[in-house]
Structure 1
Amino acid sequence: MLKIQEIREIIKLVDSSSIDEFVYEVDNSKIKLKKQSGVTVVTEAPVVKAAPVVVAPVAAPEAAAPAPAVEKATAEAPVAVDSSLHKITSPMVGTFYQSPNPESPAFVKVGDKVGEESVVCIVEAMKLFNEIEAEVNGEIVEILVKDGDLVEYGQPLFLVKEN
């Protein structure tokens, strides 16, 4: 059985790829992802017997169909940020966490002062929890990702106004 985080990663990968449908079957579980008008649908149902996994890209029915997805992506593009602000970036691909556990407060909030060795978040990669340090002295101006989001290598996580 896949964990919810693994399912989220699969959804993101399918969403960012050119395939329209993805089916994954293992043991007594089946996950089917299908793109419809820019929306990803997830269903999970028990399977009577296991079958080999087959992944095949499905050709788009019309050449004009991808255009709305491109428009959507550009509409969600981040706005230009002040170049004088320092970006704390993710050193790896993984899951972003603002606190050491769900019951604890966030490491930092907007307006907090940080030092070079201040831990600002955790990025989980392959079951390892990696503490990310600010690397600069300053004040947190903006948090660019949400708790539990998947982050890419080099993706900006925080904007810091340096002292």
Structure 2
Amino acid sequence: MDLDLEELAAVIEQLDKTEFTDFLFEKGDFRLRVSRGGHFADGAPAVPSPHAAPQAAHDAAASPAAAASPQPSPAHSTAPGPALRAVPAPSAQAPLTPEAGHAVVTAPMLGTFYSSPKPGSPAFVAVGDTVEPDAVVCIVEVMKLMNSVQAGVSGTVTEVYAKDGDLVEFGQPLFAVRESA
């Protein structure tokens, strides 16, 4: 791939700041296609159905990254916001459905996950800790900028899904929080 992580993060950051319906970015062998609304301008679905093998084969030939990337589950295709194709997902990442009464804190952007303010410091939160909506639960670093991630919900942390130094993607689950009444 001819695109480094900082360039990709910059592209994603710019997309987040703009209004668009269909975006295609190509650099070398890398091809990224983003759509809002579930379909691309050419009518192709943003998340192809399992029966769309000819289109998937075409995309895989155009982008080596697409050949190795699993496609998002159909449950993701109905969510509002941009739909992505040709971005590899974390290999161990499975779609999470929180238990009743639980909320999932997700990564607000692509970057590097840090559980503490600096190396050697205690983690912001651990399993069993109580958090408030404005409590910082981690940092996601993008292009040397440290972005604090807030819990967004009151409750008790029940799971921590990411580890220090992990590359996390936009929307990737980071924590599960059992919401307080």
1:132 maps to what in 2? 149
TM-score (normalizing by structure 1):
0.53
**d(CA) in 1 for partners of 2:121 and 2:139?**
13
- Give 2:130's aligned residue: 113
**Aligned to 1:145, which of 159, 162, 166?**
162
Q: Among residues 90, 111, 125, which one is paired with 1:94 in the alignment?
A: 111
**How many residues are paired up?**
104
What pairs with 1:41-52 in structure 2 (closer than 5 Å)? none
- Deviation per CA, 1:45-104, whole angstroms, max 9, x where unpaired? xxxxxxxxxxxx88xxxxxxx9xx98xx99874675414310101110000000011121
CA distance in 1, matches of 2:132, 2:96: 27
Give the whole-Å Cα distance in 1 for the aligned partners of 2:148 and 2:162: 16
List alignment gaps of at least 5 residues for structure 1. Answer: 1-5, 10-56, 59-65
* Larger proportion of strand: 1
Q: Is the 8 A contact 2:98 2:104 kept in 1?
A: no
User: Does 2:181 align with 1:158?
Assistant: no
Match of 2:83 in 1: none
Counterpart-to-counterpart distance in 1, 2:140 and 2:166: 10
Counterpart AA for 2:167: L
- Report the equivalent of 1:41: none
Q: Larger radius of gyration, structure 1 or 2?
A: 1
| Aligned-pair CA distance for 1:148 | 0.7
The CA RMSD measured in Å over matched residues stands at 3.3
- Deviation of 1:132 (Å): 0.4
CA–CA separation in structure 1 for the residues paired with 2:178 and 2:93: 24
Percentage identity across paired residues of the two chains: 51
4+ aligned runs moved over 2 Å, structure 1: 73-81
Task: Give 5+ residue unaligned stretches, structure 2.
Answer: 9-62, 71-89
Instruction: Rate the CA distance shift 1:162–1:91 in 2: closer, same or farther, 3 A.
Output: same
In 1: Cα distance, 2:150 partner to 2:93 partner: 28
Aligned CA distance change for structure 1 residues 152 and 79 (closer, same or farther; 3 Å): closer
Cα distance change on mapping 1:138 and 1:127 into 2, 3 Å: same
1:96 aligns to what SS in structure 2? strand
